[in-house]
Amino acid sequence: MENYTYTGLPRKPYLEYIHEGVSSSSMSNKSLEYCNYSGLTLHVFFRDTLSQIDEDKLNDIVIQSYELPGKKSEKKDNVKSNSDLYINGRYEKETQINLTRLLDESVNKGYSDRRDYIQPWSSWVESVKEYVNNKMDDIDNASDLSSLESITWDFSTFDSSDPEINIKDALGLSGSDGNLVVNSSPILLSFFKWGSNVKDSYLYIGFGVYTPSVMIRDGKITGLSWNSDGDAQDDGQIIVLKNGSVTEAVLDVYEDQTHGEVVFDNPVFFDAGDSIGVYVNEGKIDRPIVLIEIMYR
């Protein structure tokens, strides 16, 4: 029995791959007995001595036994991340979530026009995913590094079939009865938060601007709250701005308060593209944190 020994391998080899590689090569008639890997050393036992040509083939099989699985996993990660980048580049993640929700609602409630508008987008996404799955199968079936490296992909082939739909148009479509569909209840979009490191924040201290990235319907600011490490040094207000102008979304701040909140009876409505900001007026709050509740249909 001949023992072919390999030491210093960078990672554990897949012994099954060695068996398969030998059995599918001209070495199969040399009677591979078994493989053993321990102490960072691989032993491959043959009943007969290999020729130099077969020994070179065995060396290639051993190399691929520890490199090929890792390369396959890496390539799968690449095709998946590339597909995500492609889809997200054409439809933002938030848009995808909302389109899926609208499609489900349309199917469940019989909003046929809206369903027919969104369905091509869903089918387009599924076609991209099917393409990815086929590439995954190709990667799994690659028998060596050379065939693995030959596997490529091109997501631009899906550009022409993209239906290019948007939420604004979907929301404007009618149901099967011809009436405009109005979603049954508002959905919480986010709590948007600003913070200031300014001690005794005073007149027109801005905390940032939130600009909705998706076309939404009946967007509204429903509440406002604040807290701080210190307290308010004077009476004042926290005021929400819409496109730089003062709105009716106001929270009164009183001396010695450390926090406060309000739910608006008359919410401030906004659309995608509107900028929303806040400022502290007169209250002298020590390093305030402001939280705005935003909802939309």
State pLDDT tens for residues 28-56. Answer: 666 788 888 887 889 999 888 888 888 88
The pLDDT, as a whole number, for residue 179 is: 41
Q: Which residues of the chain have pLDDT under 70?
A: 28-30, 171-218, 229-230, 272-273, 281-289, 292-297
Q: Using CA atoms in the order 170, 173, 176, 182, what is the torsion angle rounded to 10 degrees?
A: 90
Would residue 31 be called left, alpha or beta, if left means φ above 0 and alpha means ψ between -120 and 50 degrees?
left
Contact (CB, 8 A) for 268 and 249: yes
Tokens in use for 16? 């099954």
Selected from 2.60.120.40, 1.10.1670.10, 3.40.50.300, 3.30.70.20, the CATH number assigned to the domain covering 187-296 reads: 2.60.120.40
For the chain, the structural domain boundaries read: 2-70, 91-171, 187-296
DSSP string over 156-221: GGGTTT-----HHHHHT-B-TTSSBP--SS-EEEEEEEEE---TTB-TTEEEEEE---S--SSEEE
Q: Could you tell me the two tokens for 280?
A: 């502290």
| Distance in angstroms (rounded) separating the CA atoms of residues 61 and 5 | 13
pTM value is 0.53
